[in-house]
Amino acid sequence: MRKAGVLLHPTSLPGPGPCGDLGAGVWRFLDWMAEAGLRLWQVLPLNPPGAGFSPYDSPAALAVGTHLLSLDRLVDDGLLRGHELADRPMSTGRVDVDQVKGWHAPRVALAARRLAAQDPGAVAAFAASRPHLEDWALFEALRRVHQTDGWAGFPEELAAYALTAVAQARERYADIVAEVLAAQLLVHRQWADVRRGAHERGVEIVGDVPIFVSGSGCDVWARRHLFRGAPGHDGQWRPEPVAGVPPDYFSPTGQRWGNPHYHWPAHAAEGYAWWVARLRSVLDFCDIVRIDHFRGFAAAWEIPSDAPDATHGAWAPGPGAALFGAVREALGDLPFIAEDLGVITPDVEALRDDLGLPGMKILQFAFGGANTHPFLPHTYGHSRWVAYTGTHDTDTAIGWYRSADARSQHQYRVYVGRDGSEPSWDLLRLAFSSVADLAIAPMQDLLELDTHHRMNTPGTAEGNWTWRAPGLPAHTARRVRGLAETYGRIPTEG
């Protein structure tokens, strides 16, 4: 079935306060989507953000970020008092990370402590139903107590995840652990309401799973045998090799991400149980899941930890179909989208196609080369694709066009039969009119915004992940709906 959608992370929702959240703004957005005829809402990873507020560098792959919680809804639930929000900071038009940490987080903690005190049975039942959160709750408690971001700052026995020390810490810090679990319960409840509201409006949610996890995070701490590493000169565990990608569209020297690689034989020996739990947790929140860096399951780029950049890496095989076979056996159908961008080889395409997964077509990448480029819509060949105007990592459509070379601009104008004055709408029309089953655009392109509004610039550490939409114009919804109706992405009778 042909559908159209929008890419907008919840933190980018317009509204009051330091960050987009699951309050009134999300309901206005879902109503706006319904008016626009959009039936797919794609989000970035919902995990707690890591360095630079990045959702792709989370300290916990199976937890949810409580920065998404609506404090107003916690007032409605009786867990906060209205006067406790009286000093709410004004919105700056972007996510204010300092205020998220310094103003929002303490109020989430207060509400969570009250819930843990008022209804400990509900918190305990929730924790029992999601045992993977126990490690995250203790990890977060230890981070607070020892005032450190990662497990390397824990005392030696706790850093080593020595079972006796871990058990003693669980008992010693039981109050903080209960608070963290209660906060997880709260965000699960709020998101469940949002998901029901989306479904009532005919909207499905598309989630996102990064293939790699943070080396300093909870998952490596508690399950180090599942990751490749070795003690460094100081005796502390280090990832070896580290993850990244070879030179590509984004960087002539590639990208050295620094994440640890998986010890795939250990995962196989456990029936890929950690991956099954991870994907099950994401499907608690989403209907479809984009698998980021899908090619890494066929082969991943391994970089020596002491290499200066990603050009020194080499390909090493991944688990292939075996992992997805275990996931299918445990969870049933595979409602996944394969992020098959970058250096793609026949083995990656074969894995994607054998699993029956749609791949991605990025229209910004289609111009400037041959007329047989695989991202040009006339080359698609079949409908099992997701056509995007751009992604969270690219410039906006307007920014892309303005910075493109003359050849790419000329080819684009000839291809779309337009003069280049409306690149956002031209690319939207290409995506919506293509044979691809799904067509998705970042909100920035629907709002016709320039490069100053991009979400992320790969390879840079500052200024990313904090964009917020300036509004939800009714005229934009009407224009998007016209495209969706014209190109059969809204069901019609007769």
Q: What positions carry a catalytic annotation?
A: 292, 339, 393
What CA–CA distance (Å, rounded) separates 431 from 411? 17
Report the candidate in 91, 94, 76, 71 with the shortest Cα–Cα distance to residue 11.
94
The 8 Å CB, 24+ separation contacts for 270-274 are 270/226, 271/326, 272/319, 272/322, 272/323, 272/326, 272/327, 274/219, 274/223, 274/226
What CA–CA distance (Å, rounded) separates 51 from 144? 16
What CA–CA distance (Å, rounded) separates 140 from 58? 12
What CA–CA distance (Å, rounded) separates 113 from 268? 39
What ranges in 386-473 are assigned the alpha helix state H? Answer: 397-403, 406-416, 423-433, 443-446
Residue that the structure tokens 């203790």 belong to: 138
- Element (DSSP H or E) covering residue 144: helix 132-146
Report the candidate in 326, 409, 338, 467 with the shortest Cα–Cα distance to residue 8.
467
Report the candidate in 20, 44, 46 with the shortest Cα–Cα distance to residue 393.
44
Helix axes 174-200, 120-129, angle to 10 degrees: 70
What ranges in 162-244 are assigned the alpha helix state H? Answer: 163-172, 174-200, 218-222
What CA–CA distance (Å, rounded) separates 42 from 387? 13
Does residue 241 contact residue 259 with C-beta atoms inside 8 Å? no
Token pair of 83 as six digits? 């006067």
Q: Transcribe 366-403 into DSSP letters.
A: SSSS-TT-TTSGGG--SS-EEEES--TTSPPHHHHHHH
Task: Tell me if residue 303 falls in helix, strand or coil.
Answer: strand
What CA–CA distance (Å, rounded) separates 490 from 484? 6
Task: Tell me if residue 88 falls in helix, strand or coil.
Answer: coil
What CA–CA distance (Å, rounded) separates 47 from 113? 21
Pairing of strands 242-245, 359-362: unpaired
